[in-house]
Amino acid sequence: MKLLVIDAGNSRVKWGLHAHGQWLERGAVLTAEVEQLQEVFSRLASPERIVAANVAGALAEQRIEDAVAHFGVRANWIVSRAEQCGVRSSYADPALLGPDRWAALIGARHLHERACVVVNVGTTMTVDALTAQGIFVGGFIVPGYALMRAALARNTARLKVQDGQFSYFPDNTANGISSGALNALSGAVDRMLRYLSETGQEDAIVLLSGGDAPLLEPLLVTPQLVDNLVLEGLARIGASDV
């Protein structure tokens, strides 16, 4: 089955064409320029099924609907469930979990049937805990790298956004801000690993995805970088019952 999967995030809309267990094409456009998908999708062969996750709002969803209309295939906009594709949710109200997080958890379970910390580093960073039994037990949501730096600039008089580099012992303001943000992000991942270990989920692995994942990768112990866990999960959902 040929699947078109779409992940509409706050910063970018990612998409992929999937068939026979592999990616045929993948790409992305800025969410602010989502109308570009009209031209992009006009060059694609028609999929048999379209599966999408949206956290970017109603306007982005409508623009995507417009871009896929010529295929003659309705988009299936996923909603998080209590159980799907080998993952069971412990969220208080499973339907309120972001569909991108749910898809990423399913993607993680499909790639590795062991305890995982599923990390997506974008506009925000989500750090979700998945047990070896496939149970999503909960997760953190924290501001992403750019948001942290922007918050300092917006709410202080002298800490402007500047390009900085990570350093163990920053000796200037720009490096101090960049290093502080990256340490805060990596610390959240390390803390979730510790929580999993303390609750009997030993040897959990970190699956790292998202646009700013390469910034965080050097600060974590042997993370596995996955190009787009959300798309992986959407492809798994699309290959099952949607």
Handedness of CA 39, 41, 43, 46 (dihedral sign): negative
Assign 74 to helix, strand or coil: coil
> Read out DSSP for 8-29?
E-SSEEEEEEEETTEEEEEEEE
User: d(Cα 132, Cα 109) in Å, to the nearest integer?
Assistant: 9
Assign 2 to helix, strand or coil: coil
- Interior angle at CA 106, CA 100 and CA 9, nearest 5: 15
> Read out DSSP for 144-212?
-HHHHHHHHHHH-SS---------SS--SHHHHHHHHHHHHHHHHHHHHHHHHHHTT-TT-EEEEESTT
- Taking every pair of C-alpha atoms in the chain, what is the biggest distance, in angstroms? 58
- Interior angle at CA 120, CA 1 and CA 12, nearest 5: 70
Number of C-alpha atoms within 13 angstroms, CB side, residue 215? 23
Tokens representing 47 are 């999929």
DSSP secondary-structure letter at 93? S
Question: Among 7, 66, 93, 100, which one carries the catalytic annotation?
Answer: 100
Assign 62 to helix, strand or coil: helix
Question: Annotated catalytic, 100?
Answer: yes
Catalogue the active-site residues. 100
